[in-house]
Amino acid sequence: MKIIITFIFLLLSYSIFAQDSTVSSAFKDNLPNKKYPLIKPKYPSYPLMTGFLLTQEAKKGDPFAQHELGLRYLLGRGFAPDTVAAVQWIKKAANQKLAAAQFNYAIMLINGLGTNWNPFEAFERFKYAAESKMPEAQYMYGSLLTDNLIVNKDMTEAYKWIKKASDAGYEPAAEALKSMMESGMVLPADPNYNNNINAQLDSSALSNFSGALTSSPIELDFYDFSSDSVTHDEKLIREIFDKNYEEVKNILGIRNSNTDSSTVDSTISGLIKFASESGSPEALILEAKSYENGYKVKKDLILAAEKYIRSLRLGSQRSAAFLLKLIKENKFMQKLEKGVNNGEPDAKYVWAGLVALGFNYSITGKQALELLESAADEGHIYSIIELGLCYYNGNLVDKDRNRAVEYWQKAHNLGSEEGRIRIILDRVRRANKSDNFSQEIKILKRNAAEGSVLAEMALAYCYEFGIGLPVDKAEAVKYYRRAAQRGNEAAYNSLLKIYDSVRPNDDKYNIVE
């Protein structure tokens, strides 16, 4: 079955940081290793004007002077850096319909920089600038039409605007179009194709929640592992293993430069293993595919299933389809039963996991629990974590969160970082704003940078509700978006709730599920 993936090239942080050049970098983390500029209109005399004269012109209502003054406050050029003043002046220029100011103010709104986070007003500002033929705004406006968060996604309209930006020579837009082709989604110029293409996108079997926010910097979504051909799977795995170290880090959701140190195996296999243990669902899927196909490792369907279950437990919805396909393979259950009878902890974990997930009913819940407990008694870390999840969610046992934490602590004592992150996540959910979480925040930030999707979720929650950090919806959105782009359904639902909390009462912003 061909998987057609919804693509999105939206910003992850939109962070603005000072540069010495007149055109500064406005935001980061959009596409790998790319920086996008704050836009400066062409008015040669203003950059040479003294701060005093510029302020005088701005106060007289000149939009070009207002915009230039705002940029100078933002970048600290001739004035002490002052984000609030920067927003004030750029907004004044934007309200006078200066396209560059509209774009830059939209960046500030969508980043919550010096002003309240407001993606809906940002959307309208981007739209105005796009209609004014600004390529950067055309690209942004087109991108916002793909995520099903501000307005209902419209892939053909998005394609139209991104292509306009590309045709105008805007490189990020050209790269976006190239990625569309690589993802297997080719959009013809005929606008009547809109309904058909959107139907295909919405029917994608692995997009298990609305507006899946896939096709992020995490490039794994571009690899169609749904083919029935083993050779096809091996080819795709080989393509990933043949990429350079930095590209694979990006695929695995790793943002920490410390992975280049001597503490991490410098091979691609070593990097994938590091990310897997750090809590990267992408790494777990790659390991599963390797075991499933016998690529660089001895073929082992039980270990492949174990990796898929672990990835699924980290919220990766695509793993469910991979796992279901695997367990339907000829004689899989016979091999699994043999492994259990031989006392193999991995086999016990897999069978119990299949029952807990509702994928298998050949044994009772009580028997599945006994398998987990048996594997846990042998020190099988993932069975210990799974027992914690059972008690936390009341699956196979009565709900008991304290008992769950005990199991996760045991897993952490055995070296599991996932165990520690789950403990922190539980503490965060029970916390008061007055609680001191400084140490936990450091741990979460480090683990998020190392590829942990759970740590990203926890950080997003902390920013959303002010647990150990100042309330910052823009930062919460950034982390929820990252996790959602990696297939985490809970992150997407949380992301949608944040948007809904500020959604205007206007039919055009109503999202149709």
Q: How do residues 344-386 score in pLDDT, each as one tens digit?
A: 999 999 999 999 889 999 999 999 999 999 999 999 999 999 9
Domain boundaries, the chain: 25-202, 343-415
Q: Rounded CA gap, 2 and 270, in Å?
A: 31
Burial (CB < 10 A; 0-12, 13-18, 19+), residue 381, is buried
Under the banding of pLDDT at 50, 70 and 90, the label for residue 225 is very low
What pLDDT is attached to residue 185?
Answer: 52
Q: Is the pLDDT of residue 12 over 60?
A: no
pLDDT digits (tens, 9 = 90+) for 23-72: 222 223 333 333 345 565 555 566 667 888 999 999 999 999 999 999 99
Domain 343-415 is of which CATH architecture?
Answer: Alpha Horseshoe (1.25)
pLDDT of 257: 63
Q: Is residue 7 very low, low, confident or very high in pLDDT (cuts 50, 70, 90)? A: very low
pLDDT of residue 10: 34
pLDDT of residue 40: 59
Beta bridge partners, 316, equal 488
**Same fold: 25-202 with 343-415:** yes
Which of 214, 231, 155 shows the shortest CA–CA distance to 187? Answer: 155
Does domain 25-202 fall under CATH 3.30.420.40? My reply is no
pLDDT at 149 over 50: yes
Residue 256, SS3 per DSSP: coil
Instruction: Please list, residue by residue across 27-65, b when 16 or more beta carbons sit within 10 angstroms of its beta carbon and e when fewer do.
Output: bbbbbeeeebebbbbebeebeebeeeebbebbeeebbbb
Average pLDDT over residues 281-309: 95
DSSP class per residue in 134-149: -HHHHHHHHHHTTSSS
Residue 512, pLDDT above cutoff 80? yes
Do residues 108 and 90 touch, judged by C-beta distance below 8 A?
yes
